[in-house]
């Protein structure tokens, strides 16, 4: 069987309560799916969050916005040091990949892996938490494998747009060429447990190796809609 190349985030799909093996099989075999448009603005804001935090750290030392509660922050790892962020899992012939948003360094020599989210922390975000936990633990495994340091902390950093009327009316929001939007930042530590990855590697491999797509998730009607679309397309 071919090597299974999978991102830590996609591996995290297996931990979601609403995980669908059919979806997983289809996504792993057809690497490019239609109707997968993701607005680029969120990546831009995540990158901006990172630049704001780096600028603050360069100017003041330590870390802002509650990140300092994670530990005695010394700085951050230059992102060029982890531009090819991946590791082989030979036991299951898997290539685990990822792209961590941030790696902070602590004065005790350990590191923290951070993922930025441009979102409000809502119950919907909470439902995605099992996936994010695996994603961050996957990044931690790769970081240690690549020798970036011993991982001692994982965290999600939410940057929530502040859009209420009072904020929008503040004079400093209006600029000569447009307006600015403040963000409220909150830090959510995530449990470190690299042992959780092993059964997920095994399960990912099992599903990937199936000769055909397994049954879909009960109650999901999208596959039926897809069948109807395909029937319709044949009639055109």
The answer to whether 210 and 188 are in contact (CB under 8 A) is no
User: Across-strand partners of 115?
Assistant: 156
Neighbour-count burial of 228, counting CB atoms closer than 10 A to its CB (0-12 exposed, 13-18 middle, 19+ buried)? exposed
Q: Does 216 bind ligand SF4 (CB under 6 A)?
A: yes
Return the closest-CA partner of residue 154 out of 85, 57, 70, 98.
70
The answer to whether 148 and 102 are in contact (CB under 8 A) is no
Write down the least CB distance from residue 102 to ligand SF4, Å.
Answer: 31
Give the alpha-carbon dihedral of 7, 79, 54, 168, to 10 degrees. Answer: -40
3-state SS, residue 151:
strand
Q: Which stretch binds ligand SF4 (CB under 6 A): 73-81, 134-142, 180-188, 219-227?
A: 219-227
Write down the least CB distance from residue 23 to ligand SF4, Å.
Answer: 4
Tell which positions 6-35 bind ligand SF4, by CB under 6 A.
20, 22-23, 26
Q: Which is nearer to ligand SF4, 30 or 41 (CB)?
A: 30
- Report the residue from 91, 108, 222, 227 that binds ligand SF4 according to the rule CB under 6 A: 222
- Report the residue from 217, 227, 228, 229 that binds ligand SF4 according to the rule CB under 6 A: 217
Q: Which stretch binds ligand SF4 (CB under 6 A): 51-59, 93-101, 138-146, 214-222?
A: 214-222
Q: Which is nearer to ligand SF4, 7 or 49 (CB)?
A: 7
Cα 58 to Cα 77: distance, rounded to the nearest angstrom: 12
Q: Does 223 bind ligand SF4 (CB under 6 A)?
A: yes
Q: Alpha helices, DSSP H only, in the chain?
A: 8-13, 21-29, 41-60, 123-127, 129-145, 165-168, 197-208, 222-235
Write down the least CB distance from residue 75 to ligand SF4, Å.
Answer: 42
Number of residues that bind ligand SF4 (CB under 6 A): 9
Cα 27 to Cα 29: distance, rounded to the nearest angstrom: 6
Q: Which is nearer to ligand SF4, 41 or 232 (CB)?
A: 232
The residues of the shown chain that bind ligand SF4, judged by CB under 6 A, are: 20, 22-23, 26, 216-217, 220, 222-223
């Amino acid at each position: 069987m071919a090597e299974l190349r999978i991102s830590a985030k996609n591996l995290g799909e297996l931990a979601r309560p609403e995980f669908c093996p059919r979806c997983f099989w289809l996504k792993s075999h057809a690497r490019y799916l239609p109707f997968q448009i993701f607005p680029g603005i969120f990546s831009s804001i995540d990158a901006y969050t990172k630049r704001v935090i780096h600028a603050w750290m360069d100017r003041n030392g330590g870390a802002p916005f509650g990140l300092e509660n994670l530990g005695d922050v010394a700085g951050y790892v230059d992102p060029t040091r982890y531009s090819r962020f991946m590791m082989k899992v030979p036991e299951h012939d898997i290539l685990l990949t990822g792209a961590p948003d941030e790696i902070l360094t602590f004065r005790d020599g350990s590191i923290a892996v951070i993922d930025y989210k441009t979102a409000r922390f809502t119950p919907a975000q909470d439902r995605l938490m099992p996936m994010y936990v695996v994603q961050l633990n996957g990044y931690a495994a790769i970081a240690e494998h690549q020798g970036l340091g011993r991982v001692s902390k994982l965290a999600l950093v939410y940057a929530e747009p502040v859009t209420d009327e009072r904020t929008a009316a503040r004079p400093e929001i209006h600029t000569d060429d447009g307006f600015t939007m403040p963000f409220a930042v909150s830090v959510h530590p995530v449990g470190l447990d690299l042992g959780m990855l092993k059964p997920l590697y095994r399960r990912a491999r099992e599903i990937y190796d199936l000769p055909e797509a397994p049954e879909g998730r009960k109650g999901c009607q999208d596959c039926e809609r897809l069948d109807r679309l395909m029937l319709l397309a044949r009639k055109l």
